[in-house]
Structure 1
Amino acid sequence: MTDPEAMLALTAAVLMGLAIVSATSLRAWHGWLELKRLEIAAVRSETQRSEMPPSPTASTGRIELADLKERVRKLEAIAAGIDLG
C-alpha cells in the first residue's frame, strides 16, 4: 500500500468521514443548546405566571419591623425570666 494514489484516496476518505462526524456533532450540539434554551424559557415563563407576593409598601414594612421588635422584646423577657403575661 505504498501507492501514492491509494494513500491519497484513504486520506481523503478519512478526512471526509471526520468532516461528516464533526458536522453531525455540531448540529447535535446546537440542537441540545436550543432544547436547553426552550427549557429555561419555559421555567421563566412559569415562574412569571405564578403569583408573586406583592412587594411590601413602606407602611407594611414598618408594621413588620414593629412586630419583629415586639417578638424580640418578648423573647428577651423570657430569657431574663420576666413574666410579661
Structure 2
Amino acid sequence: MPGLAEPISTSSRSQVHLCDNIVTRGIDLPEGVQAAAPGDRARMTVTLTRPVALEEGLRFAITEDGEAIGWGAVSSSFAR
C-alpha cells in the first residue's frame, strides 16, 4: 500500500473516502490488537465524524496526508 510506512493504531486519524464523501474518522482495532502494520489485514470499527449513508459491501479508501494507505468494504453499520 503506497504511503503507509508506520502501523495504523487506535490513535490514528485519517480520512475515509466513501463514494463522493470524504470524512475524518477515528478507528478502534479489536481487543488485543495494538496496531495494523503495512501488509496486515485488519477488522476495525470506524467512527465517522458526520452521518453518511452506508450499505454493506460499499467500498472505501483510507488516506493520510493525501496518500492512500488502505481500503476495504463496509461489513455492517450502526448509528450511535
TM over 0.5: no
TM-score range, shorter chain: under 0.3
Q: TM-score, normalised by structure 1?
A: 0.15
The structure whose residues are more often helix, as a share, is 1
Q: TM-score, normalised by structure 2?
A: 0.15
